[in-house]
């Protein structure tokens, strides 16, 4: 591999630094130099830490209630997850990337791959630093950029860019193979894209401790120990692209919408509201991905910590015809609840899983033949209108009555949530003069 090989595409991974924590600092200049952490759903565990919080040794994934005294002692600012804010900032960053690069592949809320063809490869360091500066200036978010000839190597390059301040947030592995191997030899195998935590222990036991060890492992050994996915990861480390737009995407087999409750739910009416909400949101996701579902699994359970009174039940409901209609999904969820609900328990979690997913367009003719076509079209237009309103005015601007109104015990606990300053007119900051 060589930085002069222009026949292969070059990939850049743009990764926002400490994204959730950085978003929380955007509108709080008083927090510029203070440690900040962001919590997971229901204010559970730490999922994002500012650089200052990392320097204090605050562990990722730590339950907030266990280290609450330490956080107070160290003066750490704690926030609940504000997904509306993070999603909006992410959208703005993607818009900047698309403005400067013709091919952008969003990977997660805080990461995206860019394909850099010949014109953009002419001056990589300047292009990368200029892009980084523009994102910081226009959004206030700092990013790191890793460059390489495969996506997996770009991930490694990004890891290096984040690890050493001397690189200024940009590092390229578009260089001779000997230099790439020197970097891979210093990269723990657990930092390689696609290598999970469980696999790390197994790999260490086999003597595979670095990314270079993984690259040099035999193909048969890789396929046996890590399956085809692990073998492809090793090929990518060797500079052979195996992940790309030419690969046929794996069809989604199921779709889950569930939540652990902030407080125990004892009333059937509250469980019905929660399941109705989960079913409606699952329906919106189906329509967004042009899918329909053939059935639904309805699930409720108590806390696993109450072994003497543990109750865990799931019921499958089959639809007469595959559907993405939220009204039909809510009806099925409530039918399932009626059959598995037992009074006297404090339920800790509920959810729905849609299965037997199929492409909506392929089934269009069959769906129209199964019932009155005019009625079917009216229902589809109703769902389209519902989605359009909620896209324009925010999620749950219009809901079904079965979802309930106002606060409920099953709603997510967010005691430290910042205002949705960029997406909600009612939460705009006040200017005093």
Residue 277 lies in a domain: yes
Quote the CA–CA distance of 128 and 146 in Å, as a whole number. Answer: 9
Domain boundary among 123, 144, 174: 174
Position 4 scores a pLDDT of 46
Position 309 scores a pLDDT of 81
203 with 310, same domain: the answer is no
Backbone phi and psi for residue 398, each to the nearest 5 degrees, phi listed first: -125, 130
Residue 392 lies in a domain: yes
* Structural domain harbouring 50: 1-174
> What 3-state class would DSSP assign to 78?
strand
Residue 336 neighbours by CB under 8 Å, 6+ apart? 275, 296, 297, 298, 315, 316, 317
32 with 169, same domain: the answer is yes
Size of the chain, expressed as the number of residues it contains = 433
304 with 163, same domain: the answer is no
Residue 422 lies in a domain: no
Question: Which residue ranges in the chain fall short of pLDDT 50?
Answer: 1-4, 246-250
User: Which CATH number goes with the domain that contains 226?
Assistant: 1.10.150.20
Residue 196 lies in a domain: yes
pTM of the model: 0.72
| Tens of pLDDT, residues 390-420 | 888 777 788 899 988 776 666 666 778 888 7
195 with 235, same domain: the answer is yes
Domain boundary among 186, 219, 248: 248
User: Which CATH number goes with the domain that contains 9?
Assistant: 3.30.70.270
Position 7 scores a pLDDT of 62
122-146 in b/e burial notation, b at 16+ Cβ within 10 A? eebeebbeebbeebeeebebebbbb
Domain boundary among 248, 272, 303: 248
Residue 195 lies in a domain: yes
Residue 110 lies in a domain: yes
114 with 42, same domain: the answer is yes
Residue 351 lies in a domain: yes
| Domain total of the chain | 3
Half-sphere CA count of 58, side-chain side, radius 13 A: 32
């Amino acid at each position: 591999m060589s930085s002069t090989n222009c026949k292969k595409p070059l990939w850049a991974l743009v990764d926002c630094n400490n994204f959730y924590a950085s978003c929380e600092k955007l509108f709080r200049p008083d927090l510029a130099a203070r440690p900040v952490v962001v919590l997971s759903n229901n204010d559970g565990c730490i999922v994002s830490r500012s650089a200052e919080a990392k320097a204090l040794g605050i562990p990722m994934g730590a339950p907030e209630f266990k280290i609450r005294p330490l956080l107070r002692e160290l003066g750490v600012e704690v926030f609940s997850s504000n997904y509306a804010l993070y999603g909006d900032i992410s959208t703005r960053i993607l818009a900047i990337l698309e403005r400067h690069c013709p091919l952008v592949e969003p990977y997660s809320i805080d990461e995206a791959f860019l394909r850099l063809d010949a014109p953009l490869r002419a001056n990589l360091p300047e292009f990368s630093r200029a892009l980084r500066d523009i994102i910081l200036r226009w959004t206030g978010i700092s990013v790191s950029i890793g460059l390489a000839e495969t996506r997996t190597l770009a991930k490694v390059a990004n890891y290096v860019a984040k690890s050493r301040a001397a690189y200024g947030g940009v590092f390229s592995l578009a260089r001779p193979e000997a230099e790439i191997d020197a970097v891979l030899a210093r990269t723990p195998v657990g930092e390689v894209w696609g290598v999970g935590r469980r696999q790390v222990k197994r790999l260490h036991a086999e003597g595979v401790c670095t990314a270079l060890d993984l690259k040099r492992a035999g193909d048969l050994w890789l396929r046996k120990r890590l399956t085809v996915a692990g073998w492809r990861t090793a090929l990518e480390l060797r500079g052979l692209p195996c992940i790309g737009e030419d690969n046929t995407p794996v069809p989604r087999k199921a779709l889950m919408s569930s939540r652990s409750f902030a407080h125990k739910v004892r009333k059937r009416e509250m469980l019905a509201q929660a399941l109705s909400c989960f079913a409606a949101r699952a329906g919106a996701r189906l329509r967004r991905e042009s899918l329909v579902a053939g059935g639904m699994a309805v699930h409720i359970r108590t806390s696993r910590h109450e072994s003497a009174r543990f109750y865990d039940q799931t019921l499958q409901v089959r639809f007469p015809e595959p559907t993405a209609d939220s009204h039909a999904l809510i009806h099925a969820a409530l039918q399932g609840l009626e059959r598995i609900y037992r009074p006297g328990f404090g339920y800790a979690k509920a959810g729905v899983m849609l299965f037997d997913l199929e492409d909506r367009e392929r089934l269009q003719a069959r769906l129209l033949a199964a019932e009155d076509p005019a009625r079917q079209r009216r229902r589809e237009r109703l769902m389209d209108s519902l989605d359009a309103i909620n896209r324009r005015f925010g999620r749950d601007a219009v809901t079904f009555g079965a979802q309930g109104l106002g606060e409920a015990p099953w709603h997510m606990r967010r005691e430290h949530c910042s205002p949705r300053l960029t997406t909600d007119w009612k939460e705009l900051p006040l200017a005093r003069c």
